[in-house]
Amino acid sequence: MENNNRLGGRIRQLREDRQLIREQLAERSQLTVAMLGSIEDGALVPSLTPLIKLARSLGVRLGTFLDDQPELGPVITRAAGAKQVMRVSDKCGAQPSDLNFFALAANKQDRHMEPFLLEIFPSSAEDCHLSSHEGEEFIYLLSGSIEVIYGTARHTLAPGDSIYLDSIVAHHVHSVGPETAKALAVIFAPC
């Protein structure tokens, strides 16, 4: 279902298309050259924060990292179809990832929202690393139970519950209990 180097390879391709060396992109995105190299080589599963910084530095939408053939019209994602997955982590270098993002609008050209189906894995309180980035997020819980840490507040969501948050506030999402939760998420990150 996934290619572990797909995300890193796409970032490398976009960097090279813009005739940038790693040091230039690392400086623009405020990442270390080592971290960028690890992302491009597929050795590091990054969180959303560095991915959004990379997208802004490359002048692309976050979803561009998943797009292969942009389409102008509507894009339909069938339940039985192949899903494109982007794995992200909230811990530096963590494998396997804490969240799986299944793109629901891959290939939709010029979109302003990034809709995903999320698989949210459990993590312990000491594993929680709050992150922040520009934009907004909407999460609608489909199954399981999740905890959303938002600043100093903690919110527990059950199936059918939703949260709309400003992503600039430090936050973290993880499953509560031993089971993986599933949610619909829509992320808006300005370019």
- Tens of pLDDT, residue by residue over 63-99, are 777 665 566 667 766 666 545 555 554 444 434 457 7
Task: Report the chain's C-alpha Rg in angstroms.
Answer: 16
Domain limits for position 24: 6-65
Stretch 145-152: mean pLDDT: 93
Q: How do residues 149-182 score in pLDDT, each as one tens digit? A: 999 999 999 999 999 999 889 998 989 988 899 9
Question: How far apart are alpha carbons 81 and 96 in whole angstroms?
Answer: 24
Q: Give the closest residue to 168 by CA, choosing from 186, 148, 145, 150.
A: 150
> β-pairing, 181-188 with 136-143?
antiparallel
Q: What's the mean per-residue pLDDT of the chain?
A: 81
Question: How far apart are alpha carbons 8 and 104 in whole angstroms?
Answer: 20
| Tokens at 59, concatenated | 């002048």
Q: Is residue 52 part of a domain?
A: yes
Residue 56 and residue 93 in one domain: no
Query: Among the ranges 8-12, 85-89, 133-137, 160-164, which has the highest mean pLDDT value?
Result: 160-164
pTM, to two decimals: 0.67
pLDDT for res 81? 58
Residue 92 and residue 144 in one domain: yes
Give the count of alpha carbons within 13 A of 108, CB side only.
16
Q: Is residue 75 part of a domain?
A: no
Confidence of residue 48 (pLDDT cuts 50, 70, 90): confident
Q: Is residue 74 part of a domain?
A: no
pLDDT for res 42? 83
Residue 58 and residue 105 in one domain: no
Angle at 65 between CA 131 and CA 183, to 5 degrees: 55
Where residue 56 falls (left for φ over 0; alpha for ψ -120 to 50; beta otherwise) is alpha
Confidence of residue 189 (pLDDT cuts 50, 70, 90): confident
E strand intervals along the chain: 85-88, 99-103, 114-120, 136-143, 146-150, 153-157, 162-166, 171-175, 181-188
Q: Is residue 91 part of a domain?
A: yes
Q: Is residue 72 part of a domain?
A: no
Question: How far apart are alpha carbons 188 and 191 in whole angstroms?
Answer: 9
Of residues 89 and 1, the one with the higher pLDDT is 89
Residue 110 and residue 50 in one domain: no
